[in-house]
Amino acid sequence: MIKTDVIIIGAGPVGLFAVHQLGIKGLKAEVIDNLDKAGGQCIELYPDKPIYDIPAIPECTGKELTENLLKQIKPFKTNFHYNERVNEVTQDKENWIVKTNKNKTFCAPNIMIAGGVGSFEPRKLSLKEAEKFEGKNIFYSVANKDFFKNKKICIFGGGDSALDWALELSKTSKITLIHRRNEFRGAPHTLSEIKKLEKNKKISIKTPCQLTKIDSDKNIKSIEIKHDNGKTENIETDFILSFFGLIMKLGPIAEWGLNMDKKTILVNTDNFQTNKSGIFAVGDICTYPGKLKLILSGFHEVALASVECFKRARPNEKYRFEFTTASKSIHKRLGLEKKDD
């Protein structure tokens, strides 16, 4: 069992800033996210699109914002548990027990739900026979690129993820890039590189077509694709990587007994606590009168929620507000002692 002060569900910008606000108060956190990396919607939906409403930052991309938030919380050495989803939440006296789909168990007096619009899950292949090969020959994300070295790989999708991985994996493997449309939606520079590789016969591109059949025994041997003109084609492959985007689901959160308003969680605005003592909701997933779904609103919410988390995690200590500009204890937690001397 992993014991901590706060379990944060969601590693988007608000979840990352929660780590900071808890860290400067001396609290430890464990972060759980269903995705394979930090950033949430910022990384999955608009990594390269500019954001204009972060205070004191005239313009930044979702990727830049995420990178800066990760840099900001680096001193706290927080553990991140990626590709995991919280399946079960139970109470044990003053603590909450959280269990994930990977059989990890966490214990903390506080849970902070910073799950955006819920958990992101990959949009899966529609063929029924695909399910039994998931995690074996069919993948919806890449955890270790070396796993695919010197293999034949069919990559499905037309966005940045499909193009980026086609480009990267083509260095060591035989790649066939398959898309249901003629036009790709990825970054122009990446697409230009893909076209060069196709011209040099380093990558094969099949458009517009869709997957219609998987030929297999214990493992996938080949696939059948159908072109828009009705022609079918068989392609030998060892793996299928599918990048059809993500769907957003509230998931098990809806079953935790929290007061809900449609697909958002009702909170009070004193400390952004839910109807369950010790469970907080911040960011896009929470709602209250006048709520604005802005990143900066989420930052404000975690600042207040972190104070109540401290009171619950340290019931015998008095909370004392401190400014980061002058507090020696905060500077110590941030590793700034030498700069102060």
Give yes or no for a contact between 73 and 21, defined as CB atoms under 8 angstroms apart. no
Q: What pLDDT was estimated at residue 187?
A: 83
Domain 2-121+247-340 CATH superfamily: FAD/NAD(P)-binding domain (3.50.50.60)
The whole-number pLDDT of residue 161 equals 87
CA–CA separation, 32 and 253 (whole Å): 13
**Bond preceding residue 208 cis, omega within 30 of 0:** yes
Domain chopping of the chain, boundaries = 2-121+247-340, 124-244
The amino acid that residue 246 corresponds to is L
- 329 Cβ neighbours under 8 A, 6+ residues apart: 26, 322
- Cβ atoms of 166 and 193 within 8 Å: the answer is no
Determine the pLDDT at residue 246: 75
34 vs 32: CA distance, rounded Å = 7
Residues written for the chain = 341
Computed over its alpha carbons, how large is the radius of gyration of the chain?
23
pLDDT of residue 119: 67
Cβ atoms of 207 and 179 within 8 Å: the answer is yes
Are 2-121+247-340 and 124-244 in the same CATH fold? yes
Return the closest-CA partner of residue 155 out of 133, 171, 140, 143. Answer: 140
Distance CA 251, CA 4 (A): 24
Residue 237 C-beta-side C-alpha neighbours within 13 Å? 26
Predicted local confidence at residue 339, as pLDDT: 54
Does residue 338 come out as left (phi exceeding 0), alpha (psi in the -120 to 50 range) or beta?
Answer: alpha
- pLDDT for 292: 95
pLDDT tens digit string along 213-252?
A: 999 988 999 999 999 999 999 999 999 999 998 777 777 7
Integer Cα distance of 318 and 63 in angstroms: 38
Burial annotation 245-255 (CB, 10 A radius, 16+ → b, else e): bbebbbbebee
Q: Which of 36, 33, 38, 30 is nearest to 1 (CA)?
A: 30
The pLDDT tens digits for 170-194 are 999 999 999 999 999 888 999 999 9
CATH of domain 124-244: 3.50.50.60
DSSP state of 174: E
What 3-state DSSP class applies to 283? helix
One-letter amino acid of 106: F
| Weakly modelled stretches of the chain, pLDDT under 50 | none
